[in-house]
Amino acid sequence: MTQGFKSVLGITALLLMVSGCASQPDTANQCGIVATYMEPNREADIYQVVVTHLDGKPVISQPNYRLAIGEHTFTLAELIDAPSLKVKLSARTPKQLTINVAHNQRYHIGAKFKTDKVYRGNDSDFWLPEVWQQEAHDCEFTPAQ
């Protein structure tokens, strides 16, 4: 092989490697936020929640969770203080909410109080966890220094 042909092959191989790398989106710094800090609309029967677990691991509840894009599962305890709620304390059990977190999105989560009937006794079906608001919000992980 001639020196010129080897150079062309080397450059071609380098261009193929670089173009292969460039075609993959860099998602390492991309994130979204799940928030519990805003007071939901009580007129719509939505109440605040406390996060007890994130992706199966116990956590101390925070106002914001900055998360990598993809699916995340929250275990939530409701903070419904509606006078019409007549269930026993033992019926107030945590529930799970799975969110497919997208880049540059903020999800406000809460407890939807079901007002279709009066819930009494051990009936734990009185609420559903939900995303009650989603909005665009810049989010990027900062590289470690």
Task: Convert the pLDDT of each residue in 20-71 to its tens digit.
Answer: 444 455 667 899 999 999 999 889 999 999 999 999 999 999 999 999 999 9
As a whole-number percent, the residues of the chain with pLDDT over 90 amount to 68
pLDDT score at 124: 93
* DSSP notation for the chain: --HHHHHHHHHHHHHHHHHHHHTS---TTBEEEEE--S---GGGTEE-EEEEEETTEE----SEEEEESEEEEEEEEE----TT-EE-GGG---EEEEEEE-TTEEEEEEEEE--SS--EET--TTEEEEEEEEEE---BPPPP-
pTM of the model: 0.78
